[in-house]
Structure 1
Amino acid sequence: MRRISLTLFLLLLGCQRSPANQDAPPVVSGGAASRLEQAAIASGTIADPAKISPVGLFQRNHEAGRDALCVIPARNGELHFGLEAIFGEEPACRGQGTARRAGDKLILSFKGGDRCIIVAQYDGDQVALPGVVDLACADLCEGRGSLEGVSFPRIASDAASALRARARSGDPLCTA
């Protein structure tokens, strides 16, 4: 009986929480990666999103249309992009410009007079636009279309695929 009591006591002692500051997870640069994700990156099980180039084609087909984003390298070292989001027969958003990587963000600066800039999330597999975009971006859309919350999953990781992408009109989505 005494051994059982001692064993139970030791089990209970092992189950008690340690002080809060000892259990706190380490601060991760960018705050996005969990310990499990960090371990998977370190072991090579998954790729480090910070090292994955955004060059390629991102596209999603849905019942109302198609959302496509192409990113290509330019001669001067910049990244150029083109995007089109189609929401049925009439409403659509489209634009082109330059892209710049900043950690887990992709900063899209659209050509045009109103200086539309969208800071999108980029994790290596997808580009996701925020749920609210600047009013200067409204000119990119027709009808009731909006770029708010549009996401583009990656389907190709090469510039050649991005250059082959076509807009609904048949014109190239990205131009070199």
Structure 2
Amino acid sequence: MRRTSVALLALLAACQQPPERSVAAPDSGGASVSGLERAAIASGAIADASKISPVGLFQRSHEAGRDALCVIPGKDGQYRFGLEAVFGEEPNCRGHGSARRAGDKLILSFKGGDRCIIVAQYDGDQVALPGVVDMACADLCEGRGSLEGVTFPRIANDAASALRARDRGNDPLCET
């Protein structure tokens, strides 16, 4: 009986040991990358998003309209962008400004009064805005439109395509 109790206590103590450290390690951009993801990048199975320039045109058409984001080179390693999200006949959001990379993030700083800043997820294939954005960004939208959760899949990876992009009023989306 005593041996059984000692064995049970030893098993219980083993179960309460602190867990091993995670296999995820930060990449050079500060994002957490798992060992499996590092191996897939090294083998070429997936692209290393930290090395893919965000310059290009990101666009998605849907039943209520079209969402478009253009990104062009700017000064000092930064970028310039313009975006429009359309939600039917009237509601829409539109803005432009400067952007910079931070690991797997694209930080969009809109020009204008309230200084709207959105930290978007960037994986090389799309730009995804978060589900909640700063209240200062409400001025970019008309009607019941919102930039919350809008995603922009990549359709072109060159500045020329981004510069040709037009909004629904046929004005240039990215300003030169």
TM-score (norm 2): 0.84
Deviation at 1:46, TM superposition (A): 1.9
TM-score by length of 1: 0.84
Does the CA-based 8 Å contact 2:109-2:117 persist in structure 1? Answer: yes
Aligned equivalents of 1:157 and 1:59: distance in 2? 12
2-structure distance, mates of 1:75, 1:168: 28
**CA separation of 1:87/1:42 partners in 2, compared to 1, >3 Å: closer, same or farther?**
same
Question: What residue in structure 1 maps to residue 69 of structure 2?
Answer: 69
- What corresponds to 1:27 in structure 2? 24
Once residues 150 and 32 of structure 2 are traced to their aligned partners in structure 1, the CA distance between those partners, rounded to angstroms, is 21
The reply to whether residue 90 of structure 1 matches residue 90 of structure 2 is yes
Match of 1:125 in 2: 125
Other structure's SS at 2:60 match: strand
How many corresponding residue pairs?
A: 158
Structure 1 gap ranges (5+): 1-18
Structure 1 stretch displaced more, 42-51 or 25-34 = 25-34
Q: 1-side partners of 2:109 and 2:170: how far apart?
A: 23
AA partner of residue 164 (structure 1): R
1:32: Cα distance to partner? 4.1
Q: What is aligned with 1:11? A: none
Within 1, Cα distance between the matches of 2:42 and 2:111?
39
Tell me if structure 1 keeps the 8 A contact 2:54–2:124: yes
RMSD over equivalenced CA pairs, Å = 1.7
Match of 2:113 in 1: 113
Secondary structure at the aligned position of 1:66 is classed as strand
Distance of 2:19 and 2:115 partners within structure 1? 46
Is the aligned partner of 1:36 residue 2:33? Answer: no
Q: Offset of 1:75 from its aligned partner?
A: 4.8
In the TM superposition, structure 1's runs of 4+ consecutive aligned residues that sit over 4 Å from their partners are 19-22
Percent identity for Structure 1 against Structure 2: 76
Q: 1:67 is aligned with what amino acid?
A: D
Partner residue in 2 for 1:51 = 51
Q: By how many angstroms is 1:47 displaced?
A: 1.4
Contact 2:84 2:167 (8 Å CA) reproduced:
yes
